[in-house]
Amino acid sequence: MKLSNWCLIIVATAASFTYAGNEDRVGSAGASHLLVNPWARGAAIGDAGIASVNGLEATYANIAGLAFTDKTQIKFNYSNWMGSAGIGFNSAGFAHRVSESSVFAVSIQAMNYGDIPITTVSNPEGNIGYFSPKSNIFNIGYAKAFSSSIYGGINFKVISESISNLKASGIAIDAGIRYVTGEQDQVKFGIALKNIGPVMKYKGDGLSQQVTYVSTGFIGSLEQRSATFELPSLLAIGGSYDFNFTDKSKLILALGFTANSFSNDQYRIGLDYGVTNEKMAFNLRAGYVYEKNIFSAENRSNALVGPTAGFSLDAIVGKSKSAIGLEYCSRFAGVFGIVHTLGVTISLK
């Protein structure tokens, strides 16, 4: 079966249960780091670029946008996740056009929570060593242009979470399509289904404890059962319009809606204004994410809502007009402070 058929089937059949989420399920899913956009440019417009974000940035927003990679793209991004929480979020990716219509990408995201003291019942004060929790995502993406108007893609994820004596791993799939129309391809529509996969479960020595059987005095190991948890699946729908003022200046208006299975639905709006010349390109971005109870600190279910902003500066070099750029994004995380994302992008043509 062709990739385009798979994209349409997956999106259509899964949309029904994605909308089935309700407030009673908020916080009941695991692997919540799947909901974090690692890339600065897409995050700066409030993740509203479901229909407009291209290249490696699209591996998070809508994998179909990967098909718009010119030739080769390399990205490195870092975020101080949740502001003052002391969590480092590192991301790196590589995308390459393998044919006139197809693009392949590999990327990885890794959260580093720092060193945490090991404590036990016998040693509640610690001083016996440290452990470092980890949360990683490995992505393999593929996107294809099926015509001048229709683009589709699939992203396969391997998810891993671990502490010193427990580990959980799983797999998930993203699928997305994009439709482009207009005399200048200025009208775009996109839909993406994300984080669809089997349940995950923690395993390891941390679930075992030493017990003594009173009747025999025998000392053995008792392993406790670990409950499974679901992945935070969602359906994202978006549209965008390009206001082409001149050949060298453009404003993109992007709108998005996210139907979350395990948290409140979210509405997104983003603006991306860019100017270019022969030597550089500059983009200024802003966005806003709205969900129910956003203005209530006690009842809001997501810290990462509200305004976003950022910019990028790309130096255009060489005869091929390749670009080397710096990008920045700030996201507001309530009591945690501001999440800063800084990165570098190399785009070869």
Residues 193-238: tens digit of each pLDDT: 999 999 988 888 777 777 777 767 677 677 777 788 889 999 999 9
Q: Which of 89-93, 107-111, 223-227 has the lowest mean pLDDT?
A: 223-227
Confidence of residue 333 (pLDDT cuts 50, 70, 90): confident
Rounded Cα gap, residues 300 and 44, in angstroms: 21
| Residue type present at position 14 | A
Q: Is CATH 3.40.190.10 correct for 3-200+232-348?
A: no
d(CA 155, CA 174): 5
Note the maximum CA span of the chain.
86
Average pLDDT, the chain: 86
- pLDDT confidence bin for 149, thresholds 50/70/90: very high
* Over residues 140-148, mean pLDDT: 94
User: Are the C-beta atoms of residues 74 and 346 closer than 8 Å to each other?
Assistant: yes
pLDDT on residue 15: 47
User: Residue 6: pLDDT above 70?
Assistant: no
Query: Which whole number is the average pLDDT over 149-178?
Result: 92
Q: Which tokens sit at 20?
A: 């089935």
Measured torsion, CA atoms of residues 290, 295, 296, 299, in degrees rounded to the nearest 10: 0
**Helix or strand or coil: residue 178?**
strand
- The whole-number average pLDDT for the span 299-325 is 87
pLDDT digits (tens, 9 = 90+) for 17-69: 444 445 666 667 788 889 999 999 999 999 999 999 999 999 999 999 999 99
Residue carrying structure tokens 């969900």: 291
Q: End-to-end distance of the chain based on CA atoms, in angstroms? A: 32
| Prediction pTM value | 0.86
pLDDT score for 20: 44
pLDDT digits (tens, 9 = 90+) for 245-300: 988 999 999 999 999 888 888 999 999 999 998 889 999 999 999 988 777 666 66
Tokens of 194: 């994300």
Q: Tokens representing 295?
A: 């203005």
Distance CA 38, CA 318 (A): 29
